Structure 1
């Protein structure tokens, strides 16, 4: 009997993040481009036009929410191509809860750096992308090997940032490079899930899910045998009575 193919939500943090980014950009077009500038951009340097206002509660939220906003579909797809590739791998290694914390910390760090140094608004998930790239490259240091492919990826991403950065005031290269520093910090400070624990959890869940008919049948027979009179122990007094009595 062939098994049915199933679509699994294998990386909840990464997939949810990607879906939210796409929905926000889609809604922004319906609202004539007013949603993202108002809610999903980090404020600029204090004192500049559109700078951080410490009296505004929304400005504190924007220190985190700016990673969900993008200038256009090209900007979004460029970031998601890296996030959807590296995010699931990091969730498998560190766990979804830890990866979600990494996303939040990186968003906050890049937002604060923008408020302190950059006089323009900031938006986009490039900081998270660079964090994932550096984090994924540090993972291989356990084997004392640095793949050349990751060096190329870092070079291409940095090159794109340096080329496209000056063209858009809303994409701050310095703040995005800070995401790479966050990835370095996470790589050296956060311990991955142990292989034994992960394998044990996977094995337990699989055994509970895939218990066969014959295994259930065997368990039921064992329970019935244990309750059968043949296996009931009698007391010494009962044994002596049976031996000394003859029934005709």
Structure 2
């Protein structure tokens, strides 16, 4: 009998986030004359600068969160989601979808606030979340006092690209992206991975399996029990290969 393959929505937070970003960019480029993202999905600039944060405008507070859904072009979007679609599902499996959603929201807010406080130009894009995921993914090996060289290369390349492109990019804040990495470090050290839940079937089978092993041991002849005990007490001091 052939097994049927099925497509699963394995990482709801990551996949939903990616779909929303694609839909927003499609609407912005092809239906709304490229006015949607600058109006809604861009974090305000520093207070007092052009396009700066207006504390009297309630909508500017929402833009502190929504800016991660907007991207300047398709290259910007694809560059971010090469990392997000790779690391996001792994982090959802490790920490749970609800916790990863909280991480996304907190990182968006922190990067938005930093942009409002320090940067004299608007901010958009999910690069802060990307850097948060990169740092968060590395914490699993830092527990063993090991830093993989591949991780160092990824961080160096990503930071190098940000620093090189920073003077050319009008709506990208390198400082805010580094803040996303700091958020990843904070989450990695403060948030514990989710524990694996034991299914009801495993809970019911475990006592039955234990009882069957006891009964099997009782039914064995005494000379077999003595032999097994002798084998357990034997200490191996060396091996000889011919």
TM range (shorter): 0.7 to 0.9
- TM normalised by structure 2 equals 0.81
Higher helix share: 1
CA distance in structure 1 between the partners assigned to 2:62 and 2:117 by the alignment = 16
CA distance in structure 1 between the partners assigned to 2:201 and 2:187 by the alignment = 30
**What is the correspondence of 1:82-101 to structure 2 with a 5 Å cutoff?**
82-101=83-102
> Which runs of at least 4 in structure 1 moved beyond 6 Å after TM superposition?
none
Local SS of the residue matching 1:154: helix
Runs (5+) with no aligned partner, structure 2: 205-242
Q: Deviations over 1:10-65 (max 9, x none)?
A: 00000000000000000001211100000000000000000000111110000000
Aligned to 1:9: 9
CA distance in structure 1 between the partners assigned to 2:161 and 2:118 by the alignment = 21
**What is the correspondence of 1:177-216 to structure 2 with a 5 Å cutoff?**
177-194=178-195, 197-198=196-197, 200-201=198-199, 204=201
- TM normalised by structure 1 equals 0.79
Superposed displacement of residue 3, structure 1 = 1.0
Aligned to 1:164: 165
Q: Does 1:115 align with 2:120?
A: no
- Number of aligned positions between the proteins: 202
Superposed displacement of residue 204, structure 1 = 4.8
CA distance in structure 2 between the partners assigned to 1:75 and 1:163 by the alignment = 15
Structure 1 residues 146, 33: closer, same or farther in 2, change over 3 A? same
Aligned to 1:213: none
Aligned to 2:137: 136
Q: CA RMSD in A?
A: 1.4
